[in-house]
Amino acid sequence: MTAIRLLLVDDDPLVRAGLSFMMGGADDIEIVGEAADGSEVEALVDRTRPDVVLMDIRMPTVDGLTATERLRGRPEAPQVVVLTTFHADDQVLRALRAGAAGFVLKDTPPAEILAAVRRVAAGDPVLSPSVTRQLMEHAAGSVIDTRRSGARTRMAALNGREREVAVAVGQGRSNAEIAAELFMSVATVKTHVSRVLAKLDLNNRVQIALLTYDAGFLEEDGH
């Protein structure tokens, strides 16, 4: 088995040491580098080629949000999992919109952080539908009408089947569940998800979920 290459980014040396000790003890994870600020991330990524970056949100010079946006705008970008102290946080939602594959709380049990890194490395987001919805509702507020109009314009690029798949992704369904619900093979679902990502210029399933929410399609489907 090829080890998951992991980069740790946190301005607290004690947090980095704890994460390094915890993550480095796993047979399938290799710590390839550590950074104390977001300003160091791009150069470290170029040098160490990580599969996953575990990124603190709040850092003094370049925060994790900015670092995530910069990383996810690059070709062949590593996956990003953001570290935070609060689960209902505007910055968490902004990081997810920027392309982070999920987030973990700093007080999350070690086994769950390990599981999150493994899931993201395998291409799966690390957010449950309920947590995603809580974040989206937290950030809705006064900007919902403007955001909805823009999201619906973007979603208009999808055909009917692609929209059905996108909404199902937004509802938190797995590929197998979508296949059963829409009477298609798992391979076909994967193809539709890939097309949705390409047409909407998105990075991952979390961003599909956010866009379908913004467009109001989850509400229309009773979710």
Task: Quote the percentage of the chain above a pLDDT of 70.
Answer: 87
State how far the Cα of 218 lies from the Cα of 223, in Å rounded to an integer: 5
How high is the pLDDT of residue 158? 95
Q: Is the confidence at residue 142, as pLDDT, over 70?
A: no
Mean pLDDT for 62-78 is 88
CA–CA distance from 56 to each of 148, 164, 168, 219 (Å)? Answer: 29, 34, 30, 32
Mean pLDDT for the chain overall: 85
How high is the pLDDT of residue 89? 64
How high is the pLDDT of residue 219? 66
Task: Give the CA count within 13 Å in the CB-facing half-sphere of 194.
Answer: 6
Residue with tokens 């999992």: 81
pTM above 0.85, yes or no: no
Q: Is the confidence at residue 109, as pLDDT, over 60?
A: yes
CB contact set of 40 (below 8 Å; sequence gap of 6+): 9
Helix (H, G, I), strand (E, B) or coil at 101: coil
State how far the Cα of 164 lies from the Cα of 172, in Å rounded to an integer: 13
State how far the Cα of 31 lies from the Cα of 198, in Å rounded to an integer: 31
Distance from the Cα of residue 111 to its chain's centroid: 19
State how far the Cα of 177 lies from the Cα of 182, in Å rounded to an integer: 9
Dihedral of CA atoms 67, 23, 83, 103 in degrees, nearest 10, equals 100
